[in-house]
C-alpha cells in the first residue's frame, strides 16, 4: 500500500534530516539550512501526512492515481532539497535541479489535492 511506503520513507528522511541538522549545529555552519528545511518538510512531514491520509481513507490509497502521486512525491522530495544543496554548494549553474524537483513536488501535491476532493466527504 502506498500509504505505508510513504510513511516508512518519511521516517527515514526525518532521521536523515535530523542527523543533517545536528551535523550543521556541531559545525556551526548553517549554509545548508534551506536544503535541510525542505528535506524535512517536503520529504518528512508531507510524505507522512499523505501516507496517513491514505491509511485513514483506504479507497484513496488503493487507487492507481495514489500510486503515481506517492512515487512522484518521493522522487521530488529527494530531488528538490538535494538540488537546493547542490546549488548552495556548487552555484547557480545547477539551478535546474531544484526547479525540476519543486515542479515534481507541485505536481504530486496537486494530484493529492485531486485525490482528496474525489475521496473525502463534506
Express each pLDDT in 66-98 by its tens digit: 999 999 999 999 999 999 999 999 999 999 999
User: 21: pLDDT confidence band, cut at 50, 70 and 90?
Assistant: very high
Cα separation, 16 vs 109, in Å, equals 22
Model pTM above 0.95:
no
Cα separation, 93 vs 104, in Å, equals 20
The mean per-residue pLDDT over the stretch 45-54 comes to: 96
Show Cβ contacts of residue 5 under 8 Å, excluding neighbours closer than 6 positions.
Answer: 51, 70, 74
Amino acid at each position: 500500500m502506498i500509504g505505508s511506503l510513504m510513511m516508512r520513507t518519511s521516517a527515514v528522511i526525518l532521521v536523515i534530516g535530523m542527523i543533517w541538522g545536528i551535523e550543521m549545529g556541531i559545525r556551526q555552519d548553517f549554509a545548508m539550512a534551506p536544503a535541510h528545511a525542505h528535506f524535512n518538510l517536503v520529504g518528512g512531514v508531507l510524505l507522512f501526512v499523505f501516507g496517513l491520509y491514505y491509511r485513514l481513507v483506504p479507497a484513496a490509497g488503493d487507487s492507481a492515481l495514489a500510486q503515481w502521486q506517492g512515487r512522484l512525491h518521493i522522487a521530488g522530495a529527494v530531488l528538490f532539497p538535494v538540488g537546493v544543496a547542490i546549488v548552495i554548494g556548487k552555484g547557480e549553474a545547477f539551478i535546474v535541479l531544484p526547479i525540476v524537483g519543486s515542479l515534481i513536488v507541485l505536481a504530486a501535491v496537486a494530484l493529492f489535492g485531486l485525490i482528496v476532493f474525489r475521496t473525502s466527504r463534506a
